[in-house]
Amino acid sequence: MYDTLFRDIGHLMLEPGSETSNAWLAVSDGRVAAVGTAGTEPEAAETRSLGGRLVTPGLINTHHHIYQNLTRSYGPVVNGSLFDWLTGLYPIWSMLDEEAVYVSTYIGLTELLLGGCTTSTDHLYVHPRPNLIDAQIRAADDIGFRFYPTRGSMSLSVKDGGLPPDSVTQTADVILEDSERLVKRYHDPKPGAMIRIGLAPCSPFSVDDTLMRATAELAEKHDVRMHTHLAEDTDEHTFCLEKYGRTPVEHFEDVGWAGPRSWVAHFIFPSDVEARRLATAGVGVAHCPSSNMLIGGGTARVQTLREHGVAVGLGCDGSASTDHASMWLEARTALLLARFQGGPTAMTARNALDIATVGSARCLGWDDELGQLTVGSVADLVAWHLDPVSLAGALSDPVEALLRCGPGRAWTTVVNGKVVVDEGQPISAVLPDMLREHRRIATRMQKAVLT
């Protein structure tokens, strides 16, 4: 007897190139145990009907700054460039503490679940107080979310020629010591892990080359992955040429990051030669289409990168460059943006979903278990809900309809075999309290700067 049987699946995406209709899926011990067609359902301790809906693997978010939902749609910077909104928000983020990070993470992960995300990284690089990553991990554990936080960092302040103020930077020794502490305490390399840790100096304009090299050595020592922003902005390009005498990609290569242990966010402005070099090196790319469009500075050439063999995943990024955390919306936006750039054959809905599942899993080095619903994979899945009115007439291809029609929302979200969103609602008795606390904290932080 299986733990849970999900029946009445209208259409089931198992992995790229493998789909079936009128299906069921059985789960045991947090993994997909069996798949079959209607009329052959086995016995299970619990049976749930998914009402004829489309079911896909859970979407995987490869780039986020969850704490930034405390400054969502922050008026003074919404129309600024990347550097404008960073310098405008640093003073608010300098007030982060464990409570603010726990509450913002709880809300952020809940929002991700509603948008069909079952695994997410996070890039918390502002550490005005200790133990902020610990607070994030507590929130993920309380929700039952598969979480991959990265220990972000900034060491190059304004006085050193960097962008951030002293209030949100740390010394390299403090950063490396805490990075090693987090890896030793929380990183779980075993199959089916719920928590893994990555190391993530923020960007070329906020960390020095010494920290980048030391982080690469630490990651090699503990066999963990590395993440950073790269080739994101023309100001970054100018900064690197002036400070280091080389482009951001050349700097990335020089400090020892150009290898399969790394994935980078955005990767908008590499040269063709640089893009090919990093593809050959095995570096993954987190594509953040909504963020790119809101900032208006360009976007990754996703189709070209995929043709080069790059593992391209999907990310929603943080506020105020992206003020939502719906991976459904990111997948749809990736589809639209690719077709806007390359024409109607540039990307299909299946391509976009592959990026959000298998591609993202490859970025994290976790494609042996995540991003698919084959027997033995972790049981992370989403049954999608689109309003019947928006689906009227969409009879021939439910996968294309998912991203072409809409808006889409998770009806049932399952992480590690456990239902965490049911009938479109998060299973959380404390969510109303968390929302009240989130508003209180966000109000306090924003008012302190505005006044």
Q: Which of 204-213, 221-230, 361-370 is predicted with the least confidence, judged by mean pLDDT? A: 204-213
Domain boundaries, the chain: 2-57+379-426, 59-363
Q: Calculate the CA dihedral of residues 300, 305, 310, 314 and round it to 10 degrees.
A: 40
pLDDT at 222 over 90: yes
pLDDT at 359 over 80: yes
pTM, to two decimals: 0.98
Task: Output phi, psi for 402, to 5 deg.
Answer: -55, -45
pLDDT at 451 over 80: no
Q: For residue 136, name the pLDDT band (cuts at 50, 70, 90).
A: very high
Buried b (16+ CB within 10 A) or exposed e, 344-374: eeebbbbbbbbbbbbbbbbbbbbbebbbbbe
Give the separation between CA 169 and CA 368, rounded to whole angstroms.
36
Mean pLDDT for the stretch of residues 232-252 = 94
Pick the CATH number of 2-57+379-426 from 2.30.40.10, 1.10.3470.10, 3.40.50.12280, 1.10.10.10: 2.30.40.10
Task: Determine contact, residues 295/274, Cβ cutoff 8 Å.
Answer: no
pLDDT at 86 over 90: no
Beta strands in 174-333 (DSSP E): 198-201, 226-230, 262-266, 284-287, 312-314
- Higher-pLDDT residue of 109, 319: 109
Q: For residue 101, name the pLDDT band (cuts at 50, 70, 90).
A: very high
pLDDT tens by residue, 37-52: 999 999 999 999 999 9
> What pLDDT sits at residue 163?
83
Q: For residue 82, name the pLDDT band (cuts at 50, 70, 90).
A: confident
Sign of CA dihedral 72, 311, 355, 427: negative
Q: For residue 450, name the pLDDT band (cuts at 50, 70, 90).
A: confident
pLDDT tens by residue, 408-427: 999 999 999 999 999 999 99
Amino acid at 260: P
pLDDT at 297 over 90: no
Give the separation between CA 145 and CA 123, rounded to whole angstroms.
16
- Structural class in CATH, domain 59-363: alpha beta
Buried b (16+ CB within 10 A) or exposed e, 284-311: bbbbbbbbbbbbebebbbbbebbebebb
Kindly report the average pLDDT of the chain as a whole number.
Answer: 96
Mean pLDDT for the stretch of residues 332-355 = 97
Hey, which residues does 140 pair with through a beta bridge?
none
User: How far is it between the farthest Cα atoms of the chain?
Assistant: 69
- Both tokens of 154, joined, read 């900034």
Q: Which of 171-180, 220-229, 292-301 is predicted with the least confidence, judged by mean pLDDT? A: 292-301
> What pLDDT sits at residue 160?
85
pLDDT tens by residue, 157-205: 988 888 888 989 999 999 999 999 999 999 999 999 999 999 999 999 8
Helices first, then strands: H and E counts in the chain: 16, 17
